[in-house]
Amino acid sequence: MYKYDHFDQSIVDARVAEFRDQVNRRIAGEITEDQFKPLRLMNGLYLQLHAYMLRVAIPYGTLDSRQMRMLAHIARKYDRDYGHFTTRQNIQYNWIKLEECADLLEELATVEMHAIQTSGNCIRNISSDQYAGAAADEVADPRPWAELLRQWSTFHPEFSYLPRKFKIAVIASPEDRAAMRLHDIGLELVRQNGELGARVFVGGGMGRTPMIAPEINPFVKADDLLSYIEACLRVYNRYGRRDNIYKARIKILVHEIGEDEYRRQVAEEFAHVKTLGIDPPLAELERISAFFAPPAFDAADVEPDRSDPDFAVWLDQNVKPHKQAGYAIVNISLKPIGGIPGDATSAQIDMMADLAEQYGFDELRVTHAQNIVLPHVAKRDLHAVWQALREADLAHANLDLISDIIACPGLDYCSLANARSIPVAQKIATRFADMDRQRDLGELKLKISGCINACGHHHAGHIGILGVDRKGVENYQLTFGGSGAEDVSIGKIIGPGFDEDGVVDAVEKATEVYKTLREGDERFIDTYRRVGLEPFKEAIYG
Amino acid sequence: MKLLTGNELRSGAVTWWTGNGWSLHVEDAVDVGEHGEAVLHAEEGARRVNAPYIIDAVATPQGPRPAHIKDRVRALGPTVRPDLTLKPADPAAGDWII
């Protein structure tokens, strides 16, 4: 885990003090809401349907027990005893009072956390692979690079007022667990003849114009990476559209001028940026990397006793191989059947912190699928961890199954939403509650957004659901064929929309078609890609 | 009918104009008719409300009901957490929302 140095802590503390003054001035009437709104947004504070909402940054989804407990404390003290983990590996609180927000941020700063740049047209929280440092297939640990980018992007004077928000993901494995190519910039660390570098993808994203980021450079040397990204941002900052919010993301620029021209301009800018000496010296990289040294793995490689069938199912579904013999990666599903995807009570958050401290080298990760990961658990401890999770209603063995649904807060909380997402997720999960049925369907990534902004990643769902407003009534469009993984693709709308119950029925019919047509080990999306839309459409629309 | 709504500045709670003040309960809201804009500006200027706006609503025997689903959800609270709504003890309180 990275630890703040004096500079990190002082800028966060200074920001809290500055925001406290801004809040006081707003309450005193010295500044208007029009003046205050951009200031509060820069500190992650939105005004949503029912109250202020605070989005707290969890850099690349990584945190320790002390930080996790602080998240629980904030839920108890400042909110209504729960938090909502998001698709950007952050956490949101839905019931924050403006007059208490500075106190909250001050407490948060004591554990090296903040809400800076979780809103606004700036570089947002850097996201990464939740299995970083534990995955057997990674060529390097992506976290030092994510941390470097965090430091570089925090209060970057040139990139604080970009044409639009900007999201960066860093992975280091061929298997993409971070929807990397659906980011404004996606980096995949790779090795070429032993040298570390990155494939650089620019111009991906979801929202109303979903695009898969094209590869702008197949290999940028690690020594050049920061300069190259700076060049990517500079070209965007210079030529990205500011006259139309719907055309302001970098994906539109790359699409409109073409990836070849964008690549040429970046190369030209890179040649200039490289003269500025912004790439960190080796010593700084080593300083950052040292924070992410592997923990002292010393457990014997013993296989857990699988005699309890429920435990065995959880092992098969939620526990993934670790690069270190004797260890495993534990996924904690925040998707109870009929529950709210991504929500956790303060007691559950505390309990996950306890588990990380007792069994997981004090580390936790938040995933973009709104789950929690204990990245380093000794196999000998898996049964104890499972038992503790079960007592806290956190042992749902549904990772990557149809009930492991990504859902945005939707119209139940969000002022931008057109339809509710959560009730649809609850009904689908309930319809497929039977674990044998879910497991028979296998990997099926279902994602729900309550509006075209696509916070629920519906474009990347094997089955995606988009809520729309049809003359004041909620209506749900179905998309099939999306993926945020290494087989990235954008889902296609299958036909006219449905009401809430209708979309649940349609999803069920689609799964029946899949079961009839699948061959071998095909997943839902494999079968869909092989047979096309027609058989599904026929079954759903008749 | 027209209602004036917004959020409390300090707490962010949803609030409704009652004719002489603000209430958390939409049932207390009054028809602002043609005067909504004037009240809006006066109340916003006095910082008694944040981000106010005027909505369409219909009168019912139970009180005013916002015309649009978004404002109906605002009026009571999240449909998926009845325990966090304004009337957590009344399981039928949200029957009119959707």
Contact A47 B12 (CB under 8 A): yes
Mean pLDDT of B81-97: 94
Amino acid at residue number B80: V
Backbone angles phi, psi at A120, to 5 degrees: 90, 170
Name residue A169's beta-bridge partners. A127, A186
Task: Name the band, by pLDDT with cuts 50, 70 and 90, for residue A282.
Answer: confident
Domains identified in chain A and CATH numbers: 6-109 (3.90.480.20), 134-290 (3.30.413.10), 309-391 (3.30.70.3340), 406-541 (3.30.413.10)
Nearest CA to A466 out of A410, A415, A538, A426 is that of A410
Q: Note whether A33 and B48 are within 8 A (CB).
A: no
- Ranges of each domain in chain B: 2-84
Residues A434-481 pLDDT 10s: 999 999 999 999 999 999 999 999 999 999 999 999 998 999 999 999
A380 pLDDT higher than 90: yes
ipTM: 0.97
What the block records as the tokens of A234 is 């500079």
Is residue B91 over pLDDT 90? no
C-alpha distances in Å from residue A293, one per residue of A148, A286, A331, B63: 15, 10, 22, 63
pLDDT at A383 over 90: yes
Residue A182, pLDDT > 90, answer yes
Name the residue among A536, A497, A501, A494 with its Cα closest to residue A515: A536
Going by the DSSP 8-state scheme, the letter that residue A443 receives in this structure is: S
Paired sense of beta strands A473-480 and A463-470, if any:
antiparallel
Distance (Å) from the alpha carbon of A479 to chain B's nearest alpha carbon = 24
Query: Mean of the pLDDT values across residues A352-367?
Result: 98
Average pLDDT over residues A493-516: 98
Percentage of chain A exceeding pLDDT 90:
99
Residue A29 is predicted with a pLDDT of 94
Q: Confirm if A63 and A111 have CB atoms less than 8 A apart.
A: no
Element holding B4 (H helix, E strand)? strand B2-7
Find the mean pLDDT for residues B24-42: 97
Would you call A238 helix, strand, or coil by DSSP?
helix
Q: How far is B98 from chain A (nearest CA, A)?
A: 8
Confidence of residue B97 (pLDDT cuts 50, 70, 90): very high
Smallest Cα–Cα separation from A198: which of A180, A177, A179? A180
Strands A45-47 and A52-56: antiparallel
Interface of B to A at Cβ within 8 Å reads: 7, 9-14, 44, 47, 50-51, 67-70, 73-74, 77-81, 84, 98
User: Which residue in the set B14, B68, B77 is minimally distant from A472, CB to CB?
Assistant: B68
Distance CA A117, CA A43 (A): 6
Contacts of A51 (CB under 8 A, 6+ apart): A94, A95, A96, A97, B7, B11, B12, B13, B14
Q: Are A511 and A494 in contact (CB under 8 A)?
A: no
Please indicate whether, in this complex, the C-beta atoms of B78 and A50 are within 8 angstroms of each other. Answer: yes
Tell me the percentage of chain A whose pLDDT exceeds 70: 100
20-39 in chain A: CB under 8 A from chain B: 26-27, 29, 33
**Region A3-14: what's the mean pLDDT?**
96
Strand arrangement of the beta sheet that strand A406-407 belongs to:
A406-407, A446-449, A463-470, A473-480, A492-493
